[in-house]
Amino acid sequence: MDSTILAILLQDGVVNGAIYALLALSLVLVFAVTRVIYVAQGEFVAYGALTYAALDGGHLPGSVALLGVLGLAGCAAGLWQARGRLDRPAVLRLLGETIVLPAVIAVAAIILAPMKPGVLVEVLLTLAIVTPMSPLLYRIAFQPLADAPVLVLLIAAVALHLTLTGLGLVFFGPEGFRAPAFSDITITAGPLMIPGQALWIGGLTFALMTALFAFFERSLTGKALRATAVNRLGARLVGIPTERAGLIAFALAGFIGALSGVLIVPLTTVYYDSGFMIGLRGFTAAIIGGLGSYPGAVLAALLVGVAESFSSFWASAFKEVIVFTAIIPVLLWRSLRHGPAEEEE
């Protein structure tokens, strides 16, 4: 192997790793706030990618209809969960979030989609369509289980992943899609040809991480989310609506998932079920980082990306095997370092 290949592999690894880092961050965030290990996050990558690809082709994406369906289901679930303690403002708020908002987005999509409004509007529209699905799913699937053990939440998350993959096939069809890059510029640096998309990915990842950091450090909502993560009951006692915190965390995860999808679809063909494997890498990173550390997750994600690009060079058939079994030595190391973890659920 010469240094050019090495550099290319590294670059590939870092670019993919940046995406995994975003996913890992949102997994850590959702886990901290809600204790849900959000296996279904990968579906948002696929949904984001396919929605963007459809908009780019001038078609109305299937996810618009899906958003409508989820909105109705979320409304029904919200009404059912709050039965007996419904008042006018609560109902209006619920209707606004589950019916009006999706309807507005759908109308915007129906009007804009055939106009091929350009990359920026298409990206924003994609985010607007896909992001709200995540809090809707929180309402439907997880809110009633808010006090269940981590394991039950994990099983529910896996079940949700199953449903969303099936729905993905229904609403997007079995074909894979790829979209053009945001820009065609290529920067040459020595032996490296850095494509514009890689710069976009790096730049947006960095910007998003900075924004998240500011959000958690500076804003009241961000601090409330952190408080919920540390101690749910305590947060509730000081007046933080923890259900709201869950909705916000899921919305952030949906947003990050959709954005990752938009960023990744120019690099690789995305199918309705591609999200799981992409999400699983973010997952691996989050676990390696210990499910509690943001910098740890980012670092681990970059490692996973690099490991992946090198193993696809050397043993491409066993790429997945290598990437996913890498988790085992890490768990062993954690296990030895932490000693017995006696936790009571």
Binding site for another protein (CB under 8 A): 37, 39, 141, 144-145, 148-152, 154-156, 158-167, 169-170, 173-174, 277, 280, 283-284, 287, 317-318, 320-321, 324-325, 327-329, 331-332, 334-335, 338-345
In the complex, minimum distance from the CB of residue 186 to another protein, in angstroms, rounded to a whole number: 33
In the complex with another protein, the residue whose CB is nearer, 2 or 147, is 147
Looking at residue 59, what DSSP letter applies? Answer: P
In the complex with another protein, the residue whose CB is nearer, 161 or 232, is 161
In the complex with another protein, the residue whose CB is nearer, 89 or 339, is 339
In the complex with another protein, the residue whose CB is nearer, 243 or 320, is 320
In the complex, minimum distance from the CB of residue 339 to another protein, in angstroms, rounded to a whole number: 7
In the complex, minimum distance from the CB of residue 37 to another protein, in angstroms, rounded to a whole number: 6
In the complex with another protein, the residue whose CB is nearer, 189 or 328, is 328
Q: Which residues touch 102 (CB under 8 Å, ≥6 apart)?
A: 67, 68, 70, 71, 132
In the complex with another protein, the residue whose CB is nearer, 54 or 240, is 54
At residue 125, what is the residue type? L
In the complex, minimum distance from the CB of residue 258 to another protein, in angstroms, rounded to a whole number: 20
Give the count of alpha carbons within 13 A of 106, CB side only.
17
Q: How far apart are CA 37 and CA 28, in angstroms?
A: 8
Residue 137, token pair as written in the block: 């799913």
SS3 state at 185:
coil
Q: How far apart are CA 247 and CA 187, in angstroms?
A: 40
Give the count of alpha carbons within 13 A of 19, CB side only.
37
Q: How far apart are CA 78 and CA 274, in angstroms?
A: 30
In the complex, minimum distance from the CB of residue 326 to another protein, in angstroms, rounded to a whole number: 8
In the complex, minimum distance from the CB of residue 303 to another protein, in angstroms, rounded to a whole number: 15
Q: How far apart are CA 220 and CA 283, in angstroms?
A: 28
CA angle 320, 324, 328 (to 5 degrees): 150
Looking at residue 211, what DSSP letter applies? Answer: H
Looking at residue 188, what DSSP letter applies? Answer: E
